[in-house]
Structure 1
Amino acid sequence: MKPIHAMRPWSLTLLSAVLSLSGCFDGEPASRATAPPAQAPVTVEHGLGRTEVPRPVLRTVALDMNEVDFLDQLQVPIAAMPKDFVPDYLARYRDAADTLDAGAIVQPNLERVHAARPDLILITSLQANHYRALSEIAPTVQYDVDYRDSHSGYTEVIRQHLTTLGQIYDKQALAAEKIAALDADLARARAVTTGRSERALVVLHNNGAFTTFGVKSRYGFVFSELGVQPASAELDTGLHGQPISSEFIQQANPDILYVVDRTAVMEGRPRLNAETLSNPLLRQTNAWRQGRVRFVDPQAWYVTAASPTALSRIVDDVIEGYQD
């Protein structure tokens, strides 16, 4: 073998490449050798604290369906997620072998989360009581959406979260496109509701019982941001609504009635419709007589409601309520 100093230039280049390649297998995993270069971390301030997120983030655990939808919209792979209540528009993740089952939305399985080897964990207030334990596994960021009162700043929180995730995953341009689409959906709703006098009621159906949601409640944004006129503006309710009777709905006499069928989601039953909702008092309302009872997408309204796909579907349902 010739001494290195006697080799031709192309031989030195080849030898350098061989030695470099062999180093990848000399005690260093190939995945580490081919990993993307480190980027500047992103610091996120949220309701539970201040989280520094090292980048790049290659493996993400999303513990809320809203977060799953955000990641799906931004084309970010999902390492693990709860698979107990997955909306139909995210169904491809339910059986995906490369997306681990992280347990239940309200009770994530911490061992499975750990087994997913996340670089980042995304949560909402539904998992807030696990924040400390999750933070010991990986940097954890809470999406500060208020599920109890969406009357003020609701869609701005969605915009901000899209912007934050765009920074974390280096998807700023795509995040900006999703924000523009969100604004277009809001404008679409306002174009229909502005100047309309119809009053609407949002009710949740649960095994034959009803609760309703006022202007400061889980569905407050329907009134404040989509421009729907409330049939009962005095009702200030929270996450699960205020229990009401059929007589209440009859007396409120809404022109439009939006029915969210919780039972269909929680028990996997067929969604209610005009034939299966046999309630004589509801049939006496203006909404029923005018054919403006809308059995809305329960997965978008109840399981998510705070993500791009969900909001677009909610806008579709709201607009449909104004159609004869």
Structure 2
Amino acid sequence: MNIRKVGLLILFMSILFLAACGGNDSDSTQASESDTMTVEHKLGNTDVPKNPEKVVVFDYGILDSLGKMGVEVAGVPQASLPPYLSKYESDDYENVGSLKEPDFEKIAEINPDLIIISGRQQDLYEKLSDISPTIYLGVDTTRYMESFKENMNVLGKVFEQEEFISEELAKIEDSISQLKESAKSVENSLIVLSNEGSLSAYGPESRFGIIHDVFGLPAVAEDIEVSTHGQSISFEYLVEKDPEHLYVIDRTAAIGGDVMAKEALDNELVKKTRAYQNDKITYLDPNYWYLSGGGLMSVSEMISEIKSSLE
């Protein structure tokens, strides 16, 4: 073989090698892109890895959803975990502080692939984002179900369980449809939060307004102030509005304190109401309603509680 032929052979082999290398780079880039996704949320747009291995969760509704999905997490705020999520109290999970005071050092030590927050941590979003990709998945109570579904669909995409999420949401929608039928017979209802003996009322589009806005139970009044802490009311207000159904959420039972709701409502004014006289005062489970709303498990239980109250 002469020198010219040898040179051509070397050139040909070099071209093949470079082409192969270029192809590998392209495949690598495509694989990298397919392993991440951009999540658009209330506080911004965040690139997150699909199927993150180390996840820190600050929202108990999201935590109960991940549990339902069979997704393990690395860290949770253990201080006020609802009893139905007690498995996360074990040493298998890192304690990352409280809902309002994250342990930034512990989170940095974990070096999570993803941090999930909601309303109580939103002011700390930037600080948490400096540690790891952080997304906000809190429920917007003015559009509860739409917001809830959006959050669940994000989880479905991130953890590649879209079919499972679709099936679970379909079950929840079916339960709500059945509840709405029962709610047609209700004249009116009132939701109150009891906190150390004091009462706050919640109406449509409020923190607990899902009872009115989604489940279909008419409110005893449409002008109840919409706020996180509700509208402060007296026991005379209960007598004045005289609700057919009274739903009580006991904050003291959820976080601790001295005056339980049943003790506070055991008075002569409450006994004048139709709700009391017809045994239609329902003490809702604060673990679902106060601590962990917006989860696959908690929303299902919320539906079940209201449905049971109408039977």
Do structure 1's residue 166 and structure 2's residue 161 form an aligned pair?
no
1:269 & 1:192 partners in 2: Cα distance?
A: 36
Query: Which residue is 1:316 aligned to?
Result: 304
Query: Which residue is 2:109 aligned to?
Result: 115
Query: Which residue is 1:24 aligned to?
Result: none
2:296 & 2:259 partners in 1: Cα distance?
A: 25
2:305 & 2:258 partners in 1: Cα distance?
A: 20
Query: Which residue is 2:250 aligned to?
Result: 261
Cα deviation, 1:71-128, whole Å, max 9, x if unaligned, reads 1121111100101111122111112x22111110111111111122210000012101
Which of the residues 48, 52, 60 maps onto 2:43?
48
Which of the residues 226, 243, 260 maps onto 1:237?
226
Which of the residues 184, 198, 202 maps onto 2:174?
184
Superposition TM-score, scaled by structure 2 size = 0.85
Q: Secondary structure of 1:229's match?
A: coil
Query: Which residue is 1:209 aligned to?
Result: 198
Structure 1 residues 239, 272: CA separation in 2 closer, same or farther (over 3 Å shift)?
same
Aligned residues: 280
Structure 1 residues 210, 270: CA separation in 2 closer, same or farther (over 3 Å shift)?
closer
Q: Which has the higher contact order (CA 8 A, sep 6+)?
A: 2
The aligned amino acid for 1:63 is F
Q: Secondary structure of 1:211's match?
A: strand
Which of the residues 245, 261, 270 maps onto 1:282?
270
Report if the CA contact (8 A) 1:294-1:320 is conserved: no
Structure 1 residues 269, 191: CA separation in 2 closer, same or farther (over 3 Å shift)?
farther
Report if the CA contact (8 A) 1:46-1:144 is conserved: no
1:107 & 1:183 partners in 2: Cα distance?
A: 35
Do structure 1's residue 199 and structure 2's residue 193 form an aligned pair?
no
Do structure 1's residue 226 and structure 2's residue 215 form an aligned pair?
yes
Query: Which residue is 2:83 aligned to?
Result: 88
1:272 & 1:209 partners in 2: Cα distance?
A: 9
Q: Secondary structure of 1:103's match?
A: coil
Q: Which runs of 5 or more residues in structure 1 are unaligned?
A: 1-36
Report if the CA contact (8 A) 2:60-2:293 is conserved: no
Query: Which residue is 2:132 aligned to?
Result: 138
The aligned amino acid for 2:148 is I
Structure 1 residues 239, 271: CA separation in 2 closer, same or farther (over 3 Å shift)?
same
CA-CA distance at 1:221 after TM superposition:
1.8
Query: Which residue is 2:21 aligned to?
Result: none
Cα deviation, 1:296-316, whole Å, max 9, x if unaligned, reads 101111112211211112112
Query: Which residue is 2:7 aligned to?
Result: none
Report if the CA contact (8 A) 2:249-2:289 is conserved: yes
The aligned amino acid for 1:174 is F
CA-CA distance at 1:283 after TM superposition:
0.8
What is the Cα-based RMSD across aligned positions, in Å?
1.8
Deviation larger for 77-86 or 306-315: 306-315
Structure 1 residues 231, 80: CA separation in 2 closer, same or farther (over 3 Å shift)?
same
1:204 & 1:304 partners in 2: Cα distance?
A: 15
